[in-house]
Amino acid sequence: MQTQEAGNQEPEYLTATQIAQKLSCSIKAIQKWTAQRRIPCAKVGYHWRYPVTEINKRLLSGQLLTPMTKEKK
């Protein structure tokens, strides 16, 4: 795991509240998109966390809210 210098980088994962602020939308919208698997997320314990790098990548490519498909093994 990479170390982060204080104040220089965003954390690797954000909470629903932090993502809602970043995307300028409501927490309810984030919860809805999470339930629909339209936004990248991971369950950590009882809480959902959102990977900043994946969200930024999808924002730049215009694919943030496209439904995620399961990868074939």
Residue 27 domain-assigned? yes
Which amino acid appears at position 8 of this protein? N
In a domain, 35, yes or no: yes
Q: Residue 5 falls within a domain, yes or no?
A: no
Which residues form the domain of 35? 13-61
**7 belongs to a structural domain:** no
Residue 17 domain flag: yes
| Count of domains forming the chain | 1
Q: Categorize the per-residue pLDDT at 10 as very low, low, confident or very high, splitting at 50, 70 and 90.
A: low
Is pLDDT larger for residue 63 or for residue 43? 43
Residue 67 falls within a domain, yes or no? no
- What separation in angstroms does the CA of 13 have from each of 25, 40, 49? 18, 11, 6
In a domain, 51, yes or no: yes
pLDDT level of residue 1 (50, 70, 90 thresholds): very low
pTM listed for this prediction: 0.72
